[in-house]
Amino acid sequence: MIKSRARAASASKESYNVVLAGNPNAGKTTLFNALTLSHLKTGNFHGVTTVPARKTRGGITYTDVPGMYSFNSYTMEEDSAAKACKGADIIINVVDATTLENSLNLTYRLIALNKNTVVYITKLDLLKRRGGWLNCEKLSAILGVPVLTCPAKQLKKTVEENAFVYPEKTLQIPLNQAYYGGNSNLSRADKLFYNKAFALFFFVVSLVLTFFVTFHPLMIGSLLKELTEKLICEYLGGALSSAITNPLLSSFVVEGVIGGVGGVLSFIPQITILYLVLILLDESGVSSALTFVTDGLFEKAGLSGRAAFSLISGFGCTAAAIATTRGYAEESARRKTVAVLPFIPCGAKMPVFLTFLSPLFKNPFPAICILYFAGLALAIAVSAIFKGKGEGLISEVTPVSFPPLSHVAKKLYFQVKSFIIKVTTYVFVFCTVSWLLSHVNFTQGFCEPGQSVLGVFSRAVCYLFYPMGITDWRIAYAALTGFAAKENVAATIAMLIPEGLALSWAPSFALCVFFLCCPACISAFAASVKEIGFKRTAVYNLAQLAFAFVAAYLTNFLTSLSIFATL
């Protein structure tokens, strides 16, 4: 007789709590996104999901938990995953077909919870590519639970209809009658990228080529940036300026909105290229390989190879990178990594650097390279100063292969979409408030920016920037806006200084060093508070801010010396 345990769970569909559990990097979050139409971050490495994520669709609550190997919690991630599994109505055990034998230990533990457990197999294409095969019916009979390989859409329908079919009896047959893993030897690509010298060389060359394509004046990044800027600021801004006769309204729309928000949107082509390379490194498995080959290098700085995930993530978003440290077992390693991540230039700092460097150089490519690699070196150097135990490396290995273009395009679309939404909402509001404050005095009357509330306040703060060679209150205010979000810096300068910057290279470099070293945005601060607490986060940020000012002062002093001024 065939039976369905899922039907016995509850007569009411609204009570279903479906938990997606499995080893790290098995594809749980990808499946969760497909089942719930969500867009959670996915990645080919251990630690992308750090806390359980829940979403209700059709009266059913789906929960995506962090990767786990057992119920003997090694990290906070595994502990939260184990608790979620114990409270589940249905457990979908997501299993990577290429590592099925290693995954069965957790599968048996999940089945022992006496829940309605289903095994869902992913990455069958990789298994077949290396000559392996899987007989789902026999594996189901061995495990005593359904084993599915259907598309996510069909799985969702099966969950909603409670149509999981369990085998009539468990068969005592060898696993090799149901599964063969194929040739598990390293491919040529794997052997290359698991060579320390080649992996590090490839990573450095990838970043240099990325910066070259993005910032060289004759390459696609700069050309598209100039075209986008011309379309938004010159054509659209010029058309609106001619159409709006009210000078105050014209100033708000053209300088405040088009100049500020449009100025940041013009960086979309270059942001897109940077995100594309980071996604390719992740989805191809190169980032996973880099984790292992850098384990010894980071160990000397008191970290492990796992820190490579956090540091590479930092090039995209500092807040997201900080969230990856939740899986660290050692508290000291977590604190150390959180402390150094703000030194990694995130994607939002790129428009800031270009704002100050573009007026000085026709080709800002070399300077951008220096800044990005300096940030990475600074993060590692600061980590070496901190005391504390290193973090043991436990992670899944991802085979190196070229990722599906559709998957890359999808992730890139949502990354760029998030940037545009942030600029057109948050940055727009910030520019609107800044424009109003720069045109209103303390008697609530309209005035020139120099006599405005913003002008008076910013001149009082500007003294902190004098040793950097900055005497313009508008630049000082723009620097302060960066603590809310780095995108605000470029937007504020474009809005308040429409005539363009006229800084010499000493203060320009000093400002770049300041933004390289200063604390990240408010989102990163909140993420840090969540991981290491408010008090420690505040201390770290204050220390980093003081370091940023001192470093910027020294940069301006040294580059202002006559020996450098002639260069």
CATH code, 82: 3.40.50.300
Do 174 and 274 belong to one domain? no
User: Is 144 among the domain residues?
Assistant: yes
Examine the fold and report which residue of 114, 146, 180 is the final residue of a domain before the chain moves on: 180
User: Is 189 among the domain residues?
Assistant: no
Return the bridge partners of 55, or none: 62
**CB contact set of 437 (below 8 Å; sequence gap of 6+):** 452, 453, 454
Tell me the residue range of the domain where 91 lies. Answer: 5-180
Give pairs for 235-240: CB < 8 Å, separation 24+.
236/262, 237/262
Do 444 and 321 belong to one domain? yes
pLDDT tens string 103-159: 999 999 999 999 899 999 999 988 898 889 999 999 999 999 999 999 999 999 888
Examine the fold and report which residue of 180, 210, 235 is the final residue of a domain before the chain moves on: 180
- The pair of three-digit structure tokens given for residue 10, joined into one six-digit string: 């509850």
User: Is 190 among the domain residues?
Assistant: no
Do 133 and 203 belong to one domain? no
Examine the fold and report which residue of 119, 151, 180 is the final residue of a domain before the chain moves on: 180
User: Is 150 among the domain residues?
Assistant: yes
Do 434 and 532 belong to one domain? yes
How many Å separate Cα 202 from the centre of its chain?
21
Give pairs for 409-416: CB < 8 Å, separation 24+.
411/42, 411/279, 411/283, 412/272, 412/275, 412/276, 412/279, 414/39, 415/275, 415/279, 415/316, 416/268, 416/271, 416/272, 416/275
Closest-CA residue to 508 (of 459, 544, 549, 552): 552
User: Is 123 among the domain residues?
Assistant: yes
**Distance (Å, whole) CA 350 – CA 353:** 5
Look at the chain and report how many structural domains it folds into: 2
Q: What number of other Cβ atoms are within 10 A of residue 422's Cβ?
A: 16
Do 225 and 173 belong to one domain? no
Do 71 and 14 belong to one domain? yes
Residue 322: strand, helix, or coil = helix
pLDDT tens string 242-260: 888 888 888 889 888 898 8
Return the bridge partners of 61, or none: 17, 56
Q: DSSP state, 261?
A: I
**Distance (Å, whole) CA 350 – CA 320:** 17
Query: pTM of the full predicted structure?
Result: 0.80
Do 135 and 208 belong to one domain? no
Do 213 and 133 belong to one domain? no
Q: DSSP state, 397?
A: P
For residue 204, the surrounding DSSP H or E stretch is: helix 196-215
Distances (CA, A) of 485 to 60, 345, 374, 491, 534: 37, 13, 21, 10, 19
Do 223 and 296 belong to one domain? yes
Residue written as token pair 């080709």: 363
User: Is 162 among the domain residues?
Assistant: yes
Greatest extent of the chain over all pairs of C-alpha atoms, in Å: 91
User: Is 186 among the domain residues?
Assistant: no
**CB contact set of 154 (below 8 Å; sequence gap of 6+):** none
Do 170 and 246 belong to one domain? no
Do 277 and 132 belong to one domain? no
User: Is 191 among the domain residues?
Assistant: no
Residue written as token pair 């760029």: 416
Q: Are the C-beta atoms of residues 129 and 123 closer than 8 Å to each other?
A: no
With vertex at residue 24, the alpha carbon angle to CA 380 and CA 112, rounded to the nearest 5 degrees, is 145
Q: What does each of the 567 residues of the chain score in pLDDT, given as a tens digit?
A: 334 444 444 434 456 899 999 988 888 988 998 898 887 766 555 555 567 888 888 888 999 988 888 887 666 677 888 888 988 999 999 999 988 988 999 999 999 999 899 999 999 988 898 889 999 999 999 999 999 999 999 999 888 888 888 888 788 889 989 999 888 777 788 888 888 889 889 988 998 999 999 988 889 999 999 999 899 988 898 898 888 888 888 888 988 889 889 889 999 999 999 999 988 988 888 887 887 777 667 777 777 666 777 888 888 889 888 887 876 767 777 888 888 999 999 988 999 999 999 888 888 899 999 999 999 999 888 888 876 555 555 556 677 888 888 888 988 998 899 899 988 898 999 889 999 999 888 887 888 888 899 999 999 999 999 999 999 999 999 999 999 889 899 999 989 998 888 888 899 999 999 999 999 999 999 989 988 899 999 999 999 999 999 999 999 999 887 545 554
Do 169 and 277 belong to one domain? no
- The pair of three-digit structure tokens given for residue 64, joined into one six-digit string: 């995506």
**Distance (Å, whole) CA 303 – CA 332:** 10
